[in-house]
Structure 1
Amino acid sequence: MNDGRLFGIRIRIHLLFWGVIGLSLLMGMFTEVITLFIIVCIHEMGHVAVARELGWTVTEVQLLPFGGVATIEEAYAADPMDEIVVALAGPFMNIVMMAFSWACWSAGFWTEEWALFFLKSNLIIAGFNLLPIWPLDGGRIIQAILCWYLPYRKAAISSLAASTMLAALMFGIAGLSLHMNVAVVAAYLLAINIQATLRFPYQFIRFLMEKYVRMADEQAVRALTVSPTATVIEVSHLLCRGYTHLVYVRGAGMLPEDELLQAVLFEQKQDTPVSKLLKL
């Protein structure tokens, strides 16, 4: 990938992107392809602007042959509603650009043909990103909604499993109908979800680390009641996103979340019964 920086954010351009540019030159569609990538960049900048407004750290934006992805550090342990707002910021920018194309056509600045191309392109990009497949915006929204009702670990694994099945279904349908461009995108999404599933143990540790470094007063408090025989790692699997927990151990007492996280992250006590933490 080629690297650059814009407003302090690392911009990574996939090598295949230049292949798409070359192919567009040969097909006489250079202007259309460049326009599509500008739309994608504006879409991603919508995510970046809202994430920064929330105080999140945006490390990079990747431009892929068929879209873009913004990498945001604080997304794992943040409030699910914040994640939804950030995810919707991209499609919102597409709606703004659709209104802009209509205004330019109405004012006579653009031809009807070009305005229609710009409007349809934004509609397709917004619609594609709202598919319920991680890491697309729709998949992130689904995962955030699940995090309202389920512990983070269960919500994330469930959303990745559903995304993998949907990407596989998309690949199968596209392949059978010979829509090879859609099949390539589906294959990429399938590979990304399989990789994310395999790497989830590391992602879960990042979630726990982010919870550990967050200030307790930044989030609402939720009570969590567990058995005294439950191990530290088992209790960590019950932690929810967007909340600070007070762990009530039946018949033993109360354990603050930071002490639980200290035990699982730094003290190598993953298999210790949680009640033992109250006696140490």
Structure 2
Amino acid sequence: MIKWKGIRFSVHPLFVLIMLASVATGYFTELMTLFCIVLVHEMGHVIVAHGFGWTIREVKLLPFGGVAEVEDSGSVPAREEALVAIAGPLQNVWMALAAWGLGQLGIWHAEWTAYVISANAIIALFNLLPILPLDGGKLMHAMLSRSMTYHRTLRWGARISLVLSGCMVLYAVIPWLHAGESGIQLNLLVVGLFLFLTNWTYNRHIPFLFLRFLTTRSAASGRHLVRGAWALPIIVSKRHTVSSALRMFKRDSYHLIVVMEDQGRVLAVLPEQQLVNGYLEDGKPDRAVYDLFM
């Protein structure tokens, strides 16, 4: 593990296993090239994230990319998350073009040029799959959050990722299920299982991820107030629980909670900070929103 500008860079055990296998099979040079491609890919994310002022704790390098642990997860705008996500595959574009240029100049052999170009293409395209925590999954997450509440974004992001990673596992074992075909696609199976188990854990941790989102709302609300922003009202009855109102929050919006009677009379207007603080202080999700005024 190395540390650069406060960010820990570590190699995932899955990558270590592939490294050991490459040494045993004589493909160490190819693997070290792949390692460098993955590192540059991930540095694209890190540089753009730093440009937005994000706090990145750790980057774990995987054979197909990396996973960054971001302290500000949930509080950053969807636009920033999308730009940080696409920054990785863009590194593969220029690296593939550079390899092609070196091949055209005769500096690299045609076989090696083809390997570097294909490695970059595979890493870029694979990372664009809409599966968390891949770059495509983060782009999907950012797009979903533009139209859904943040809680629904977490749920649907996990569901889509589980279905697609499950399909990847199934596709890897299809040859084994058909007599006369070749064996299991081991590489695809291992990666598919890793993504499926990662998203299974992610799905179980959604309550904690949503709580972390709520704890960052104060900073996000402050940014809205400083620059001025339209408020998106959330209309609830006085019987609505605090948790049901909080689950209506959207990522990039500032909310005013309007409490109304069945007849349409407005009982109170509550700024979102008061709702969040009331929940965080007493931790009673089933408490009625109107009780916060009592």
How far did 1:36 drift? 0.5
1:271 correspondence with 2:286:
yes
Q: Aligned Cα RMSD in Å?
A: 1.6
1:249 correspondence with 2:259:
yes
Pick one of 119, 123, 126 that aligns with 1:125: 123
Supply the AA of the counterpart residue of 1:192.
Answer: T
Distance 1:83 1:166, change over 3 A: same
CA distance in 2: counterparts of 1:160 and 1:15, whole angstroms: 23
How far did 1:71 drift? 1.5
Alignment of 1:151-190 (within 5 A): 151-177=149-175, 178-190=184-196
CA distance in 2: counterparts of 1:16 and 1:230, whole angstroms: 47
3-state SS of 1:247 partner = strand
Partners of 1:216 and 1:244 within 8 A in 2: no
Give percent identity, aligned residues only. 36
3-state SS of 1:238 partner = coil
Q: Which residue does the alignment assign to 2:178? A: none
Aligned pairs, how many? 277
Q: Which residue does the alignment assign to 2:245? A: 235
3-state SS of 1:253 partner = strand
Pick one of 68, 71, 90 that aligns with 1:92: 90
CA distance in 2: counterparts of 1:121 and 1:65, whole angstroms: 11
Partners of 1:62 and 1:69 within 8 A in 2: yes
CA distance in 2: counterparts of 1:218 and 1:92, whole angstroms: 31
How far did 1:83 drift? 1.0
1:32 correspondence with 2:42:
no
1:259 correspondence with 2:249:
no
Supply the AA of the counterpart residue of 1:239.
Answer: F
Supply the AA of the counterpart residue of 1:81.
Answer: R
CA distance in 2: counterparts of 1:242 and 1:153, whole angstroms: 13
CA distance in 2: counterparts of 1:188 and 1:18, whole angstroms: 14
What is the CA deviation profile of residues 17-70 of structure 1, one whole-angstrom value per residue up to 9, with x for unaligned ones? 333222212222111001011111111111111111111101111023553212
How far did 1:16 drift? 4.2
How far did 1:267 drift? 2.5
CA distance in 2: counterparts of 1:6 and 1:125, whole angstroms: 24
Q: Which residue does the alignment assign to 1:196? A: 202
Pick one of 205, 215, 223 that aligns with 1:209: 215
1:53 correspondence with 2:68:
no
Supply the AA of the counterpart residue of 2:286.
Answer: D
3-state SS of 1:75 partner = coil
Unaligned segments of structure 1, at least 5 residues? none
Partners of 1:46 and 1:93 within 8 A in 2: yes
Supply the AA of the counterpart residue of 1:245.
Answer: H
- Give the TM-score taking structure 2 as reference length: 0.89
Distance 1:120 1:9, change over 3 A: same
Q: Which residue does the alignment assign to 2:263? A: none
What is the CA deviation profile of residues 241-279 of structure 1, one whole-angstrom value per residue up to 9, with x for unaligned ones? 1222111112212100110110111223422211222x3
1:83 correspondence with 2:81:
yes
CA distance in 2: counterparts of 1:30 and 1:185, whole angstroms: 20
How far did 1:213 drift? 3.2
3-state SS of 1:271 partner = coil
Unaligned segments of structure 2, at least 5 residues? 176-183, 261-265
3-state SS of 1:252 partner = strand
